């Protein structure tokens, strides 16, 4: 059987607006970076070549897209910016999910809890307004909806 490449367009990122998960619309890309810190072991006279020690697990999710006007069923630039301000001021995390649709139409879904720490946008004199943002994860990515736990 031949390999089937996964297409980026089949990965949709959603943010929970305290009522339901809404897709962040018109994304041109989104990425996930997971990392485990590696700490050097302590060198001693008895152990001159210690084994490294694994440290904390962290992740970030970055997204970028083309800005659209507000829509009730999707997260537009303005609604993401407003939501970010509300959560930042109250120091509350957001809940997210990512759905990846495979070639056979099944979906792989992951969930997480994160702080929406950055949202930026560009408005060139000619061309479409674009935006980008960063979610800094709390805990780990899960196959279970963390909003309902």
Render pLDDT for 9-68 as a digit per residue (tens, 0 to 9). Answer: 778 888 898 888 888 877 888 899 999 999 888 888 888 888 888 989 999 999 998 877
More confident residue, 3 or 73: 3
Cβ neighbours around 83 below 10 Å, total: 19
Length of the chain: 149
Q: What is the pLDDT of residues 63-83, one digit of tens each?
A: 998 877 666 666 677 777 788
Q: What is the pLDDT of residues 101-117, one digit of tens each?
A: 888 889 999 999 999 88
Q: Where are the beta strands (DSSP E) in 9-124?
A: 11-16, 21-23, 27-39, 53-66, 94-101, 107-122
User: Contact at 8 Å (CB) between 112 and 134?
Assistant: no
> Residue 52, Cα to own-chain centre: how many angstroms?
29
Assessment of whether the complete model's pTM goes beyond 0.75 = yes
Report pLDDT for 70. 61
Alpha-carbon gap, residue 24 to 17, rounded angstroms: 11
Report pLDDT for 57. 95
What is the biggest distance separating any 2 CA atoms in the chain, rounded to whole angstroms? 66
Instruction: Give the helix ranges, DSSP H, for the chain.
Output: 77-90
Cβ neighbours around 148 below 10 Å, total: 7
- Res 96 pLDDT > 70: yes
- Res 141 pLDDT > 90: yes
- Res 4 pLDDT > 80: no
Report pLDDT for 75. 67
Q: Which residue in 63, 67, 66, 74 sits closest to 21, CA to CA?
A: 74
Report pLDDT for 65. 85
3-state class of 52 per DSSP? coil
């Amino acid at each position: 059987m031949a390999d089937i490449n996964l297409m980026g367009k089949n990965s949709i990122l959603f943010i929970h607006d305290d009522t339901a998960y809404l897709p962040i619309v018109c994304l041109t890309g989104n990425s996930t970076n997971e990392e485990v810190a590696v700490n050097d072991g302590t060198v001693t006279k008895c152990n001159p070549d210690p084994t490294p020690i694994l440290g904390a697990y962290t992740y970030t999710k970055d997204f970028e897209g083309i800005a659209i006007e507000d829509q009730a069923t999707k997260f537009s630039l303005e609604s993401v910016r407003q939501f970010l301000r509300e959560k930042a001021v109250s120091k509350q995390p957001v809940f997210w999910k990512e759905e990846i649709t495979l070639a056979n139409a099944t979906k792989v879904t992951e969930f997480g809890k994160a702080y929406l720490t950055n949202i930026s946008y560009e408005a060139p004199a000619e061309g479409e307004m674009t935006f980008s943002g960063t979610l800094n994860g709390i805990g780990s990515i899960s196959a279970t909806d963390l909003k309902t736990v």
